[in-house]
Amino acid sequence: MSKKHYGVIGHPIGHTLSPFIHARLMELSGIDGDYGVFDVAPGELSERFKTELSELDGFNATIPHKQAVIPLLDETDETAALYGSVNTVAFDRSGGKTRSKGCTTDGIGFTSALESAGIEMGSVVTIVGCGGVGRVFANTCAKQGCRLNILECSAALGGAEDFAASINERFGEGTASVFLTEDYSGECDLLVNATPVGMAPNADACAVSDIVISGAKAVFDAVYNPSETLLVRKARALGKKAITGMTMLVYQAAAAQTFWNGSHFEKEDMEQLARDCFKELERR
């Protein structure tokens, strides 16, 4: 079997953990492959897709390419339609012609991380932030039948209201409601932080008040650096199940390997990989 070649595209791409994660996943599944990092400026995407990227077996896409890559693809699956984005592309060269297919693994990464930690979405989910990852969380939870409270700052309130309207149109009126973050004090089954608040080096910040944390049964923080954010630490001190986003990062990468190679992974291996990723972050 010939060696396979994968990578991640973004701009700026920074110090991504993806090569570390995918190297381990390919080792676990017996895949002989490598994984590179490609800094692709927005204006370069179309040309580089036709040339060097299409020579790969597949690639992951991050900001700002998750939407821009869609028109370049021959096919997308139902996850791309649900989230309006693609973070994983595969190339099929069978039949002598190269065809590209895209999907999004963010949703399954999120749900797998919750399942691994024994956390249930429940019926009411409060999501802080309405950016790209927040919209993935919102669509995933709405599809599961949850009612959503979307929290935003005043500067982004209009965009949050427009997004909530689109959720209500797709999943039923009353599915999503919007609140100013500083004004919200309701209870929920799951509290999700979809903002960078609390990320190192600003690890002493928390996305919501103690009242909001106390009113949640469980917490998911998309931030994974530091390994225990202030939000997670406060939730755990109250006896609540709480995790950061590292297991989501690992599970969404695993889902990409499944999309590319049909690989499957054990829960214990995913949890160990997440722990090793924290060590890798500390080493850097």
Q: Which residues are catalytic?
A: 66
Q: Per-residue DSSP letters for 190-219?
A: EEEE-S-TT-TT-TT--SS-HHHHHTEEEE
Q: What does R_g of the chain's alpha carbons equal in angstroms? A: 19
SS3 assignment for 150-190: EEECHHHHHHHHHHHHHHHHHHCCCCEEEEEHHHCCCCEEE
The DSSP H or E segment spanning 259 is helix 246-261
**Both tokens of residue 161?**
């209201």
**Both tokens of residue 227?**
């390994």
The bridge status of strand 33-39 relative to strand 58-61 is: unpaired
Instruction: Quote the distance between the C-alpha of residue 255 and its chain's center.
Output: 11
What are φ and ψ of residue 147, in 5° steps? -95, 135
The SS3 assignment for 31 reads: coil
**DSSP code of residue 2:** P
Q: What is the dihedral of CA 268, 244, 21, 47, to 10 degrees?
A: 140
- Give, in order, the Cα–Cα distances in Å from 182 to each of 54, 130, 179, 198, 204: 46, 15, 8, 16, 18
Instruction: Quote the distance between the C-alpha of residue 238 and its chain's center.
Output: 26
**Both tokens of residue 107?**
């949703």
Asked if 91 and 54 touch (Cβ cutoff 8 Å), the reply is yes
